[in-house]
Chain A
Amino acid sequence: MVAQTLEIKSSSASMWGTTTGIRTLPTVSKYIDTSTCIGCKACEAACQEWNDLKRVPTAQDGSYQTLPALDAEFWNLIKFREQDTADGLAWLMRKDQCMHCAEPGCLAACPAPGAIVQYANGIVDVNPEACIGCGYCATGCPFEVPKFHAKTGKMAKCTLCVDRVEVGLEPACIKACPTGCLNFGTKDDMVALGNLRVKQLKDSGFKDAALYDPPGVGGTSVVTVLKFNKPEWYALPADPHVPIGVRVWKQILRPVGVIAAFLSIFAVFGHYTKYGPKEVVDVEEKSHE
């Protein structure tokens, strides 16, 4: 079910969403400051609780990370990385979840009308009622976020707690964070907060601190403060884009293919009009008898 009180800006496999343009809603965003995250995983627990997700058995892969990757029943994962830097070892933690891109690749790739929607406030949501579980969204996503749920046969991911946000509450992960490294508000406010924090970090000696809000996907509704401007150290793509294959497929191949299909039908009608049927002539046979 999609959030009922929010207008839909764009909808998968549809010409347009349901926005009227009468009401405007500011884009919302999460704010994640990796420099003050202590890896307590309160956000993971809060996410599981609020979204009524099952307890997923943890997997030990040599780090403190709960699971190797996001899961259809685990939408919020702190990624732990040990990284050699110029100033010695850095223990990096980043809260990973759906990035809620302004130009979502999942939505572009989705073939089911209304299965992935982007609300007027920028939240990207999966609508299980319309989802057909084909997994194309996973191919469209540059962050490897949407996961297939084997039991429901649907894709699942972080909703940015749209059911909380639409009634004026902050997302569950934000509410649970004990250090204030997570915040929630309008995109403009979160970017301002991020830039302020980046400046603080730079002033404290982290010369290449940066705010991660990748322009390749139109910016994201999750802005992340990185102490080191090396997104890959945090298991983030350096310059994410909707995959070229998905864009060629949807923007070129599909319209060209539809036109070619109809043209071939017109062509045979045209042929019949011009040349008509190749009639069997019985002359020789009759002279035979």
Chain B
Amino acid sequence: MSSSVAETPIVVARHRENVIVEGEIIRHRRASRLIHWSVAFTFFLALITGMPIWTPIFRWMAALVGGLEVARIIHPYAGVLFFLVSVLQFFHWLGDMHFRADERGSWRPSKLMAYMRYEDTAPEGGKYNPGQKVFFWAVTLGALALLVSGVVMWFPLRFPPIVRELAILLHDITFICFFIGIVFHIYLGTAAEPGTFRSMIRGTVSRPWARLHHPGWLKEIDNKE
């Protein structure tokens, strides 16, 4: 295949993933990264416009968008956008997110805690480990719960009071879980696991990174090449 553009890792990473180019492994092609950052951006837009409405402790966040009235106007639209890109994300990653037979039960808190203690008890796995799959499904369900409850809260007077109350509680509980999940997601993707953030920016990881975090995935790639 001849091309005028050199086949450097960053160029190949535009369209292909799970391949090795010049010693770098392409983990996330451009579409994957764009989807991820669309979800992240809309999530944070909804977060900084929603948290000041949640409690005045976070009222300073409203200043970032020009005040609480502006936050109130932006929030529902940011939320709908977040849901739409979450749907896109769901179908984009769904194929990689089925739990394998040897991963059943790995969503249990004890297993997730063992992972956080860097105890190597998890099965070799594929491209994504069970924790990532748990997060994927939690985010998908969470986005759905936030949308459904959010629509009720957006148009409160169209719904009976009991539905509104339940929606408010669902929206709050889901958000609290979401917030905690995102804190750990960002931590694991940056400070806790060096080399991971690059897979969402440049799209590539090193062989040692892949061997440490996703040995099964590295074997699949090596076998293919």
Q: How far is the CA of A112 from the CA of B59 in the complex (A)?
A: 9
Chain B interface size band reads 35 or more
- Which of A133, A258, A260, A281 is close to B55, meaning CB atoms less than 8 Å apart? A258
- Which of B72, B165, B176, B195 is close to A245, meaning CB atoms less than 8 Å apart? B165
Collect the chain A residues with CB atoms within 8 Å of residue B59's CB: 113
| A261-B180 contact in complex given A139-B164, A243-B161, A280-B206, C-beta closer than 8 Å | yes
Contact across chains for B193 and A277 when beta carbons are under 8 A apart: yes
A-B contact count, CB below 8 Å? 121
Q: How far is the CA of A253 from the CA of B172 in the complex (A)?
A: 7
Contact across chains for B209 and A280 when beta carbons are under 8 A apart: yes
Q: How far is the CA of A285 from the CA of B206 in the complex (A)?
A: 10
Collect the chain A residues with CB atoms within 8 Å of residue B168's CB: 136, 139, 245-246, 249
- Which of B187, B193, B195 is close to A268, meaning CB atoms less than 8 Å apart? B187
| A133-B156 contact in complex given A113-B59, A261-B180, C-beta closer than 8 Å | no
Collect the chain A residues with CB atoms within 8 Å of residue B164's CB: 139, 245
CB 8 Å contact bits of B180-223 with A (1 = contact, 0 = none): 10011001000111110000000000111101110000000000
**In residues 205-257 of chain A, which contact B (Cβ within 8 Å)?**
243-246, 248-249, 253-254, 256-257
- Which of A133, A139, A264 is close to B184, meaning CB atoms less than 8 Å apart? A264
- Which of A112, A265, A278, A280 is close to B118, meaning CB atoms less than 8 Å apart? A278
The answer to the question of B117 belonging to the interface, with a C-beta cut-off of 8 Å to chain A, is yes
- Chain A residue, CB-CB nearest to B206: A280
Collect the chain A residues with CB atoms within 8 Å of residue B37's CB: none
Instruction: Return A108 CB to nearest CB of chain B, in Å.
Output: 12
Collect the chain B residues with CB atoms within 8 Å of residue A278's CB: 118, 192-194, 212-213
- Which of A132, A254, A260, A265 is close to B69, meaning CB atoms less than 8 Å apart? A132
- Which of B57, B68, B180 is close to A132, meaning CB atoms less than 8 Å apart? B68
Collect the chain B residues with CB atoms within 8 Å of residue A253's CB: 169, 172-173, 176
Collect the chain A residues with CB atoms within 8 Å of residue B72's CB: 132-134
If over half of A's interface residues share one DSSP class (helix, strand or loop), that class is named, otherwise mixed; here it is: helix
Instruction: Return A252 CB to nearest CB of chain B, in Å.
Output: 10
Contact across chains for B194 and A284 when beta carbons are under 8 A apart: no
- Chain B residue, CB-CB nearest to A12: B56
Q: How far is the CA of A134 from the CA of B153 in the complex (A)?
A: 8
- Which of A14, A256, A281 is close to B212, meaning CB atoms less than 8 Å apart? A281
CB 8 Å contact bits of A146-163 with B (1 = contact, 0 = none): 011000000000000000
Collect the chain B residues with CB atoms within 8 Å of residue A244's CB: 165
Q: How far is the CA of A256 from the CA of B175 in the complex (A)?
A: 12
Collect the chain B residues with CB atoms within 8 Å of residue A13's CB: 55-56
Q: How far is the CA of A268 from the CA of B188 in the complex (A)?
A: 9
**In residues 17-53 of chain B, which contact A (Cβ within 8 Å)?**
53
Contact across chains for B172 and A281 when beta carbons are under 8 A apart: no
Q: How far is the CA of A220 from the CA of B74 in the complex (A)?
A: 36
**In residues 70-91 of chain B, which contact A (Cβ within 8 Å)?**
71-72
Contact across chains for B179 and A264 when beta carbons are under 8 A apart: yes
Q: How far is the CA of A248 from the CA of B116 in the complex (A)?
A: 33
Contact across chains for B208 and A281 when beta carbons are under 8 A apart: yes
Q: How far is the CA of A272 from the CA of B187 in the complex (A)?
A: 9
The answer to the question of B54 belonging to the interface, with a C-beta cut-off of 8 Å to chain A, is yes
- Chain A residue, CB-CB nearest to B56: A13
Collect the chain B residues with CB atoms within 8 Å of residue A248's CB: 169
Instruction: Return A72 CB to nearest CB of chain B, in Å.
Output: 11
The answer to the question of A84 belonging to the interface, with a C-beta cut-off of 8 Å to chain B, is no
Which of A139, A265, A275: most chain B Cβ within 10 A? Answer: A139
- Chain A residue, CB-CB nearest to B195: A280
Collect the chain A residues with CB atoms within 8 Å of residue B212's CB: 278, 280-281
Q: How far is the CA of A8 from the CA of B183 in the complex (A)?
A: 39
The answer to the question of A271 belonging to the interface, with a C-beta cut-off of 8 Å to chain B, is yes
Q: How far is the CA of A277 from the CA of B206 in the complex (A)?
A: 17
- Which of B68, B156, B175, B176 is close to A136, meaning CB atoms less than 8 Å apart? B156
Contact across chains for A246 and B68 when beta carbons are under 8 A apart: no
Q: Which 4 A-B pairs have the closest CB atoms?
A: A245-B165, A135-B156, A268-B187, A132-B72
Q: Given known contacts A135-B157, A268-B183, what 19 new A-B pairs fall within 8 Å (CB)?
A: A112-B68, A132-B68, A132-B69, A136-B156, A139-B161, A243-B161, A244-B165, A245-B165, A249-B168, A249-B172, A253-B173, A254-B55, A257-B175, A265-B183, A267-B184, A278-B213, A280-B194, A280-B206, A280-B209
The residues of A with any CB-CB pair to B shorter than 8 Å are: 13-14, 111-113, 132-136, 138-139, 147-148, 243-246, 248-249, 253-254, 256-258, 260-261, 264-265, 267-268, 271-272, 275, 277-282, 284-285
